[in-house]
Homo-oligomer: A and B are copies of this chain.
Amino acid sequence: MGTEKEFPLKGYSLPMSPQGKSAVIDPPPWHYGGDVLHLTFRADEKKMRGLVPPPLEAGPNPGEGVVWFTEWVSASEDRPDLSFVNPERSQYKECIVMVSCQFRGVPGYYVPYIWVDNDFTLVRGLFQGFPKKLGNIYMTRLHDMTPRVGGKKPGAKVKGICVSHAERIVEGSMVFRRKAEPSEAPPVKFYLRRHFPGIEDITRPDIHEITSSRVVDPKVADVWVGDGDVKFYGSEFEEVADLGPVEVTGAFYFGLGITIIGGEILHRYK
């Protein structure tokens, strides 16, 4: 949307255009439904704290983190049939690394690293404070109909692999043990850093804030619990492996549906 009445171009985001169809992303609410491989881990406490920007504080379980591999079908409130008009505009996969933190006593996870595989989600993420880069995300799919392999069941195995700039960065996997209740799926609250660098004075960002996503109506279904593994790989361009060895403490796989209606600014850096 333009900010002045007479402004001739429309869109929540660039590129704006006469009819507003060109914008890379529609305004919220944004709807998401997908499958999540959720792996909890522990790493060196000091290094994990070092990834959390103040005034966020270390979480109730400092040293704890989460890796998500997810495959989403998303849509905007404005164009709910996006997935039909063009499937490419509505599907993406992502790999998220999270670090336990809290703000004014409310625990959650800060997201230092995240990779996605399409532009609309990359830009939508930047607007919220998700530090997205492009990656190729691969996730095992379990299809009921594949002979000899089949679908979700005890013993089933899934893996997620994240490759970015021709390097393997993250790998996570899980062996299904048992079906679980929706209440067993660990909740996730995202703390983010919204940042847009300066262009005249490149030492002073134009936007630099701690934010939190406004998520409504989360729904969880088809939860499985199992045994997990996480690996971070060394890289010329990523520092996630500098966390050192990690110990996996939990593994979950579930369906998730959420709607994000915007974000909340918790702190503005001066």
Give A residues with C-beta under 8 Å from B: 1-4, 6-9, 12-19, 21-22, 24, 27-28, 31-35, 50-51, 53-54, 72-75, 77, 80-81, 83-91, 112-114, 118-119, 122-123, 126-129, 131-134, 136, 138-150, 157-161, 163, 165-168, 173, 193-197, 199-200, 202-208, 211, 217, 219, 221, 236-239, 242, 255-259, 262-265, 269-270
Contact = CB atoms under 8 A, between A and B. Distances in A.
A222 B31 CA distance: 25
B21 A83 contact: no
Contacts of A74: 146
By CB atoms of chain B within 10 A, which of A85, A118, A270 has the most? A85
A34 B257 CA distance: 23
A18 B148 contact: no
B257 A145 contact: yes
Contact of A118 (B75, B112, B134, B197): B134
B138 A88 contact: yes
A221 to B, nearest CB: 6
